[in-house]
Amino acid sequence: MKRKNVLALGLALVMSVGMLTGCGGKGSSDAGTTPGVTQGAESTGGTQAEATQGAQAPTEAPEPTAEPTKEATPTPEPTPTEVPDNIPDVTVKSFEVPTNEALQFVKDMKIGWNLGNTFDASECTWLSDELDYESAWCGVKTSARLIQAVKDAGFNTLRLPVSWHNHVSGENHTISEAWLDRVQEVVDMARAADMYVILDIHHDNNTEFLYPSSEYHEQSKHYIKCIWEQLAERFKDYDDKLVFEAMNEPRLVGTNYEWWLNPNDASCKDSVACINELNQLFVDTVRASGGNNATRYLMVPGYCASVDGALNANFILPTDTVENHLIVSVHAYTPYNFALNTKGTAEFDMDKASDVKEITSFMDKIYDKFTSKGIPVIIGEFGAMHKKNLEQRVEFAVVYIANARARGITCCWWDNNAFLGDGELFGLVDRASLKWHFEEVVDALMKYAE
Query: Annotated catalytic sites, by residue?
Result: 202, 249, 381
Kindly state the helix (H) or strand (E) to which residue 368 belongs, with its residue range: helix 353-369
Strand runs labelled E in 314-409: 326-331, 377-382
- For the chain, the residue count is 450
Question: Following CA atoms 17, 19, 25, 27 in sequence, which dihedral angle do they give, to the nearest 10 degrees?
Answer: 160
Dihedrals φ, ψ of 143, to 5°? -115, 155
Residue 23's nearest CA partner among 207, 199, 213, 202 is: 202
Pairing of strands 157-160, 242-245: unpaired
Distance CA 313, CA 430 (A): 42
Inter-residue contact 211 to 253 (CB < 8 Å): yes
Distance CA 133, CA 122 (A): 7
Inter-residue contact 90 to 444 (CB < 8 Å): no
Distance CA 130, CA 124 (A): 9
Inter-residue contact 201 to 155 (CB < 8 Å): no
- What residues does 84 pair with on adjacent strands? 4
Alpha helices in 98-248 (DSSP H): 101-109, 133-136, 144-152, 177-192, 217-235
Distance CA 343, CA 365 (A): 28
**Residue 323 burial class via C-beta count within 10 angstroms: exposed 0-12, middle 13-18, buried 19 and up:** exposed
Distance CA 307, CA 368 (A): 12
Distance CA 266, CA 40 (A): 23
Distance CA 220, CA 173 (A): 12
- What residues does 175 pair with on adjacent strands? 168
Inter-residue contact 269 to 275 (CB < 8 Å): no
